[in-house]
A and B are shown apart, each in its own frame.
Chain A
């Protein structure tokens, strides 16, 4: 039996200390960690259970924005009245993620830390080569089954897609990750694979996510999350877009626009080029479609995932038009 020690942290400080031990991993809802332990990917020596920590599951929304505790459940955040009204894209991204059972278990902190669905990453017994799992071993995916792999932000070392939904909305609306005292923009929290795909987050041993905060904005208030996939429910995105829009007083000229992509990149992907191309312009279908093509500038495919390059701009355009046209 693979023995590991189990510690139940009573305070956030105790959790951080225990989490700094070699081979220690935090346990929140367990929906990623236990799954990966079963695949033989996660082999913690110490499991630090943070799920009973007090005071980390709050959700508060005021004029300045929203603060969501790391232990808040996905389903609670999705269903929170103020999140729904002021950050609809956040609520929608959560509703379309995973399944009802998973959302009831899974936490926001754990959600940020979920790992890729690259099938080679998840099968160490059959595919020892995976740079993300064992640095320098190679990449089994390149040249293999790549239908779900990324077209943006890839490197020669790793082409794994970041699979989550929530963070796509978070990067669009400039959310911040709270690691206790230290704070990081969500966009900086996620790292590109480059030559070190094993490092996915700018979090250090002994740090723990305590909360995320999202500043209030008009664009966030008028936002949506559009997720496209073959199966209507319980599937990761083939391509998705979080979009928010703010108009000038004329109601037609775009003052602020936020666009981020999911399912196509190695991290939640802010598409600033699309935003810049449309700011100050009228919302007009052809212009939106043209500008949306900028979302996949520099994209590289690996055969079977080529469709993502076609699909992503269409998802962006539909999301912008949908949210722009609904008064």
Chain B
């Protein structure tokens, strides 16, 4: 029985958001404000380490002060004797934990895991921890732990002579045609190197957790982008069943990729809690957010473009390197945009990783695509000047009509539309082509363009939808909202599907006891979860209407209707002949206190093992080129900069970006995500850099006064334009990824604008003033 049809927009509608149809705020596509906003603004929202627990004790980490070598000895006597100290943890008295399965689902080696290191591979590594009655006591005692080391030579970063060329990552190799020969034969050639430094997620809420054991049940309050994945890690570390671990994370103060995994400090806190039989809180300090987990790896790329005199690309030869740690592996896929943005008959991309003494790098908004776009989108700009064509025109001349790598059609690619809409709103046609040709007093003005893209990552999700006796609705999922709007769009999805006002829907997230969910990363969650909630809500609605029709106590029973409709929380017959009653009244008359339905989007015959794997690893994620299509979000950024000709300071004065994220579930939230990405991109282009003391292998600007992220004063008005259309191949409701797209292409657009302003090509981020004077 089909009782409800989702009102998706016709495929030929111009925009996939409310701007063309005016969806109501409470429906999918409406501009509902963040439902979690008031709790956050008033301070009612409790973050992980704000939980008040009886008997709470406090753990503080002791970190290595060398970057390479071995711990010779640890003298804990003074710390043990310090007031309030409950325990000093070192590798000698640490519990033996198991190594856990990694996020890819690789079975772990059968070796013990100790989050406190004897072998030192980076500065800031955890070597010991102190637990005390109060935080201040733990801080003071931690300073009394005396660690002596045998030091070894440090490989500080990619430019270290000892670093070498690194290890080839064969999985990153992409080749078609004969790229080197075609490049050599091309009439126009450009080749340049592009570098990005270490960058950090710098979330407003630093990391940390409270761990509590009750018997062999572990509860962890910790900000998390992936409850089920982290619960699995804790369970495997401590050798308890997955069901015994409960992760709680209703609010997250920003993650940007850094809160998807359980890290060593989590193991330390949970271990201490187990040993002491008391809840333990461990709050990562701001300086530790630079070493307790990894930021974006520093990268280097060379991009060689061979073209004909008309600027048509004949060959792309791309070589990339990213740093990884001495004992961990992080690959930042540098050829990901290079291989799909432009049509080329010949292509070659290869990548190495280089081991340096740093914490293993991690995900930061659009890992891979972000630095990749910096290389190719600067390079094509250089080619435009080389052949003397407009930087926008050269992108259109090389437009990829299908995925050049997968050789499949795009599911949707509104990039041409993005170029057109952005150029129009920005006034690109008024640009004077010569570098250094636009000025206002001492300010050199430059206009730059660059494109961006992010793949549509898909997975399966699960949700529970409940209709309660009072007619209100509950949605439950162990997925999370880190500010991007999950609470809000799931309320909209349930409200629209069930026909109730969004105000009547309560969404509960961030508890691993709820229906399972995979990682919130790779911009996949909205697509996955709106699909799951839609399915669960549809099932709940089926039950409701089924009851209304079949239960003898129902006011509709006598009419024997084929179906019923629910709108604004009232149930009636489609033609309006007959009763029209609130849901609560119907439930009352049939004697039910609730209707509950679980929906999941897994293939029907999935085994429990497959479900577990889907929610706790990314092994079951669907490739973006699976089946007949290649699926990606797209964008074009148009940016104006003002560069002071004497001081070299760069200020972004105008941004117009046109973006294709398919259908928008909530344009207000999508715009906010896009703008957030663009703002981060401005910081990346001009300010952000983890500065390494090369003698000590240590980041010296590990605080928010010295690691510069953009302030309000650095950000002009940003205009974002949605050019997406519903993409049925990308998600159940037609959306594509939103969260990461916005940052991709911002840094090259700014670098290109700086070149237009000054005639100087800066290929090393960030573009700080000394590079321009």
- Chain A residues near B (Cβ < 8 Å): 1-2, 40, 117, 119-120, 123, 125-127, 143-145, 147, 228-235, 238, 306-307, 310-311, 314-315, 317-318
Cβ-neighbour of A314 out of B647, B651, B714 (below 8 A): B647
Cβ-neighbour of A145 out of B63, B123, B691 (below 8 A): B691
Would you list 17 pairs from A and B whose C-beta atoms are within 8 A, ordered by A residue? A1-B136, A1-B139, A119-B701, A126-B65, A144-B695, A144-B696, A145-B692, A228-B644, A228-B647, A229-B649, A230-B766, A231-B711, A234-B711, A307-B769, A311-B769, A314-B773, A315-B646
Say yes or no for B705: interface residue by CB 8 A criterion.
yes
Let me know if A1 and B700 touch, CB within 8 A. no
Q: How far is the CA of A147 from the CA of B139 in the complex (A)?
A: 31
Let me know if A232 and B700 touch, CB within 8 A. no
Q: How far is the CA of A1 from the CA of B140 in the complex (A)?
A: 5
* Contact of A125 with B65 at beta-carbon distance under 8 Å, contacts A2-B136, A231-B711 already known: yes
Say yes or no for B637: interface residue by CB 8 A criterion.
no
Say yes or no for B708: interface residue by CB 8 A criterion.
yes
Let me know if A120 and B770 touch, CB within 8 A. no
Among B692, B698, B700, residue most surrounded by chain A Cβ atoms (within 10 Å):
B700
Q: Kindly list chain A residues whose C-beta atoms are within 8 Å of the C-beta of B701.
A: 119
Min C-beta distance of A195 to chain B, whole Å: 24
Q: How far is the CA of A126 from the CA of B63 in the complex (A)?
A: 10
* Contact of A230 with B769 at beta-carbon distance under 8 Å, contacts A144-B693, A311-B647, A315-B647 already known: yes
Cβ-neighbour of B769 out of A238, A306, A318 (below 8 A): A238
Interface string of B679-702 (1 = CB under 8 A from A): 000000011000111111010110
Q: How far is the CA of A166 from the CA of B691 in the complex (A)?
A: 28
A-B pairs under 8 A by CB, number: 88
Cβ-neighbour of A310 out of B84, B649, B766, B773 (below 8 A): B773
Cβ-neighbour of A230 out of B63, B646, B708 (below 8 A): B708
Let me know if A1 and B686 touch, CB within 8 A. no
Min C-beta distance of B754 to chain A, whole Å: 13
Closest A residue by C-beta to B67: A126
Q: How far is the CA of A119 from the CA of B692 in the complex (A)?
A: 11
Q: Kindly list chain B residues whose C-beta atoms are within 8 Å of the C-beta of A125.
A: 63, 65, 143
Let me know if A230 and B768 touch, CB within 8 A. yes
Q: Kindly list chain A residues whose C-beta atoms are within 8 Å of the C-beta of B770.
A: 147, 306-307, 311
Closest B residue by C-beta to A99: B711
Closest B residue by C-beta to A233: B713
Let me know if B700 and A120 touch, CB within 8 A. yes
Q: How far is the CA of A207 from the CA of B572 in the complex (A)?
A: 84
Q: Kindly list chain A residues whose C-beta atoms are within 8 Å of the C-beta of B136.
A: 1-2
Let me know if B705 and A228 touch, CB within 8 A. no
Min C-beta distance of B715 to chain A, whole Å: 9
Q: How far is the CA of A307 from the CA of B705 in the complex (A)?
A: 21
Q: Kindly list chain B residues whose C-beta atoms are within 8 Å of the C-beta of A120.
A: 700
Closest 10 pairs between A and B when the two form their complex, measured CB to CB: A307-B770, A233-B713, A232-B713, A119-B700, A314-B646, A1-B136, A233-B711, A1-B137, A232-B714, A228-B647
* Contact of A230 with B698 at beta-carbon distance under 8 Å, contacts A2-B136, A314-B646, A315-B647 already known: no
Let me know if A123 and B700 touch, CB within 8 A. yes
Q: How far is the CA of A306 from the CA of B143 in the complex (A)?
A: 37
Q: Kindly list chain B residues whose C-beta atoms are within 8 Å of the C-beta of A1.
A: 83-84, 134, 136-137, 139-140
Q: How far is the CA of A147 from the CA of B691 in the complex (A)?
A: 10
Min C-beta distance of A148 to chain B, whole Å: 8
Q: Kindly list chain B residues whose C-beta atoms are within 8 Å of the C-beta of A40.
A: 143
Q: How far is the CA of A123 from the CA of B691 in the complex (A)?
A: 15
Closest B residue by C-beta to A304: B770
* Contact of A231 with B687 at beta-carbon distance under 8 Å, contacts A1-B136, A126-B123, A145-B693 already known: yes
Let me know if B691 and A232 touch, CB within 8 A. no
Min C-beta distance of B250 to chain A, whole Å: 28
Q: How far is the CA of A123 from the CA of B286 in the complex (A)?
A: 13
Say yes or no for B706: interface residue by CB 8 A criterion.
yes
Let me know if A230 and B686 touch, CB within 8 A. yes
Interface of A is mostly: loop
Q: Kindly list chain A residues whose C-beta atoms are within 8 Å of the C-beta of B692.
A: 145
Min C-beta distance of B269 to chain A, whole Å: 20
Say yes or no for B442: interface residue by CB 8 A criterion.
yes
Task: Give 6 A-B pairs besides A1-B136, A228-B644, A230-B766 with Cβ atoms closer than 8 angstroms.
Answer: A2-B139, A117-B706, A125-B143, A144-B693, A234-B705, A311-B648
Let me know if A318 and B442 touch, CB within 8 A. yes
Interface string of B319-331 (1 = CB under 8 A from A): 0000000000000
Closest B residue by C-beta to A305: B770
Closest A residue by C-beta to B704: A234
Q: Kindly list chain B residues whose C-beta atoms are within 8 Å of the C-beta of A127.
A: 696
Let me know if B140 and A117 touch, CB within 8 A. no
Say yes or no for B605: interface residue by CB 8 A criterion.
no
Interface positions of B from 712 to 736, Cβ below 8 Å from A: 712-714
Let me know if B769 and A126 touch, CB within 8 A. no
Let me know if A232 and B65 touch, CB within 8 A. no
Let me know if A228 and B649 touch, CB within 8 A. yes
Q: Kindly list chain B residues whose C-beta atoms are within 8 Å of the C-beta of A235.
A: 708
Interface positions of B from 408 to 462, Cβ below 8 Å from A: 442
Let me know if B140 and A230 touch, CB within 8 A. no
Q: Kindly list chain A residues whose C-beta atoms are within 8 Å of the C-beta of B83.
A: 1
* Contact of A233 with B714 at beta-carbon distance under 8 Å, contacts A119-B701, A144-B693 already known: yes
Say yes or no for B190: interface residue by CB 8 A criterion.
no
* Contact of A318 with B646 at beta-carbon distance under 8 Å, contacts A1-B134, A1-B140, A232-B711 already known: yes
Min C-beta distance of A185 to chain B, whole Å: 30
Let me know if B700 and A145 touch, CB within 8 A. yes
Min C-beta distance of A145 to chain B, whole Å: 5
Q: Kindly list chain B residues whose C-beta atoms are within 8 Å of the C-beta of A123.
A: 700
Interface string of B760-773 (1 = CB under 8 A from A): 00000010111001
Q: Kindly list chain B residues whose C-beta atoms are within 8 Å of the C-beta of A126.
A: 65, 123, 696, 698
Q: Kindly list chain B residues whose C-beta atoms are within 8 Å of the C-beta of A230.
A: 649, 686-687, 708, 766, 768-769
Min C-beta distance of A11 to chain B, whole Å: 31
Q: How far is the CA of A304 from the CA of B644 in the complex (A)?
A: 21
* Contact of A117 with B705 at beta-carbon distance under 8 Å, contacts A1-B83, A1-B140, A144-B693 already known: yes
Q: Kindly list chain A residues whose C-beta atoms are within 8 Å of the C-beta of B693.
A: 144-145
Let me know if A2 and B710 touch, CB within 8 A. no
Closest B residue by C-beta to A144: B693
Among A231, A238, A307, residue most surrounded by chain B Cβ atoms (within 10 Å):
A231
Min C-beta distance of B766 to chain A, whole Å: 8
Closest B residue by C-beta to A128: B65
Closest B residue by C-beta to A118: B700
Let me know if B65 and A231 touch, CB within 8 A. no
Q: How far is the CA of A141 from the CA of B608 in the complex (A)?
A: 58
Among B63, B651, B768, residue most surrounded by chain A Cβ atoms (within 10 Å):
B768
Min C-beta distance of B642 to chain A, whole Å: 11
Min C-beta distance of A326 to chain B, whole Å: 13
Q: Kindly list chain B residues whose C-beta atoms are within 8 Å of the C-beta of A231.
A: 687, 708, 710-711, 713-714
Closest B residue by C-beta to A306: B770
Min C-beta distance of B285 to chain A, whole Å: 9
Interface positions of B from 608 to 632, Cβ below 8 Å from A: none
Q: Kindly list chain B residues whose C-beta atoms are within 8 Å of the C-beta of A314.
A: 646-647, 773
Closest A residue by C-beta to B132: A1
Q: How far is the CA of A61 from the CA of B770 in the complex (A)?
A: 40
Cβ-neighbour of A119 out of B84, B139, B706, B714 (below 8 A): B706
Q: How far is the CA of A204 from the CA of B66 in the complex (A)?
A: 38
Cβ-neighbour of A228 out of B143, B691, B710, B769 (below 8 A): B769
